[in-house]
Structure 1
Amino acid sequence: MTLRRTGRLPQARWCPSPNFGPRPDNADISLLVVHNISLPPGQFGGPAIEQFFCNRLDANEHPYFQAIAGLQVSAHLLIRRDGEMVQFVSLLDRAWHAGCSCFEGRHECNDFSIGIELEGADEVPFTDSQYATLAATACEIMAAWPEITPDRLTGHSDIAPGRKTDPGPAFDWPRFHGLLASPHRSAPQP
């Protein structure tokens, strides 16, 4: 399977981040983590998310940026409000999205997970295009890595409780799982 060999989704725009590393030799890719991000908080569109994940964020552009400008983080994928997908890190590599985290007693989720950011905020509904792209992409990833099953699709808040709240209460988990089961789900946006 091409995805398992290359780690790259052809429908995603490639925007390489320097914030990644190799997975441990014994790490299986067996978890998908859903996040949300908006920069500045609550504002959508613009280049700030990509700049942030690529260490090019100008701290002088917004007061909030001063607090995060020195952080080095990334995700494998970002799904914009219009459904566009941007890939920052090969799925074969370890992106820096989960931080201090634990899933089913296993720590350091970055070692064995794929992180997908949705452009959004905890209390703001996500778009139809985002759900369609997320579901189609999750199905493609689960086909490449059968170890990732629907019960191994989780939120950042679930693996880092008390520290993280995303994807937040506005994320509709039943809708997402329903789209995964739908034989007529939409394909990811090119």
Structure 2
Amino acid sequence: MRRTGRVTMARWCPSPNFGPRPDNARISLLVVHNISLPPGKFGGDAIERFFCNQLDAAEHPYFQTIAGMRVSSHLLVRRDGLPVQFVSLLDRAWHAGRSCFRGEEECNDFSIGIELEGADDIPYTAAQYQTLVELSQQIIAAWPEITPDRITGHSDIAPGRKTDPGPAFDWSHYRKMLDSRHNEEGGG
């Protein structure tokens, strides 16, 4: 994965919204997000069309409020657990916006962003947690600077501006699953 930046288990849906990472950037952070389009509605291909600049603003009143935005994420985990990749992990996706992690500004430069199809206050599915753990393990194996304490939520790197993945995301459950898989694979 590190050589190509592609996740083999994910369906490829290339977004034009990315750029090169700065020359000195070391991938060392994993950021968990959520998204649903329109908000609170699941299914369909609106998220994919949004990340690929193909969302029709006339289709829904909310879409008019985000028309013209150019954003992306490296990966999306659908409600059924299926992953979709938009940007190579080697490139800089546009997921974090103005952000800071432990004094390091512009988290897009050194992070990988994973979106969960969801909303702050709606529980995520077991399939999503399973896929998120599998993706996290692959990413950690490829970039060992991403340690468990360098996995965070969008709300933590953009407080006051962002709230995702929200209170419905069970960090304790996710971290226990991640720990369990790590130990099963002989990592600790």
Superposed CA offset, 1:116-139 (max 9, x none): 000000000000000000011101
Shift of 1:183: 3.5
Return the alpha-carbon distance in structure 2 between the equivalents of residues 91 and 45 of structure 1: 25
Shift of 1:102: 0.1
Return the alpha-carbon distance in structure 2 between the equivalents of residues 119 and 103 of structure 1: 23
2:137–2:182 CA contact under 8 A, matched in 1: no
How high is the sequence identity, in percent, across the aligned residues?
76
Return the alpha-carbon distance in structure 1 between the equivalents of residues 101 and 73 of structure 2: 18
For the aligned residue pairs, the C-alpha RMSD in angstroms reads 1.3
Of 24, 27, 30, the match for 1:26 = 24
**TM-score, normalization by structure 2:** 0.96
Q: Which residue in 2 is equivalent to 1:37? A: 35
Correspondence 1:178-189 to 2 at 5 A: 178-183=176-181
Q: Which residue in 2 is equivalent to 1:12? A: 10
Q: Which residue in 1 is equivalent to 2:173? A: 175
Return the alpha-carbon distance in structure 2 between the equivalents of residues 183 and 25 of structure 1: 33
SS in 1 for 2:30: strand
Return the alpha-carbon distance in structure 1 between the equivalents of residues 100 and 150 of structure 2: 12
1:101 aligns with 2:99: yes
The one-letter code sitting in structure 2 at the alignment partner of 1:72 is R
**Uncovered stretches (5+) of structure 1, i.e. residues with no partner:** 186-190
Superposed CA offset, 1:30-56 (max 9, x none): 000000000000000001000000000
The one-letter code sitting in structure 2 at the alignment partner of 1:130 is Q
Q: How many residues align?
A: 184
Of 38, 55, 78, the match for 2:53 = 55
**TM-score, normalization by structure 1:** 0.95
SS in 2 for 1:34: strand
Shift of 1:184: 8.5
Label 1:184 to 1:7 Cα distance change in 2 as closer, same or farther (>3 A): closer
SS in 2 for 1:126: coil
Q: Which residue in 2 is equivalent to 1:161? A: 159
SS in 1 for 2:79: coil
**Uncovered stretches (5+) of structure 2, i.e. residues with no partner:** 184-188
Return the alpha-carbon distance in structure 1 between the equivalents of residues 66 and 181 of structure 2: 41
Of 65, 68, 83, the match for 1:70 = 68
Return the alpha-carbon distance in structure 2 between the equivalents of residues 59 and 29 of structure 1: 34
Return the alpha-carbon distance in structure 2 between the equivalents of residues 163 and 178 of structure 1: 28
Return the alpha-carbon distance in structure 2 between the equivalents of residues 27 and 135 of structure 1: 24
1:136 aligns with 2:134: yes
Q: Following superposition, which runs of at least 4 residues in structure 1 exceed 4 angstroms of deviation?
A: none
Of 145, 148, 151, the match for 1:150 = 148
Return the alpha-carbon distance in structure 2 between the equivalents of residues 152 and 174 of structure 1: 15
The one-letter code sitting in structure 2 at the alignment partner of 1:163 is R
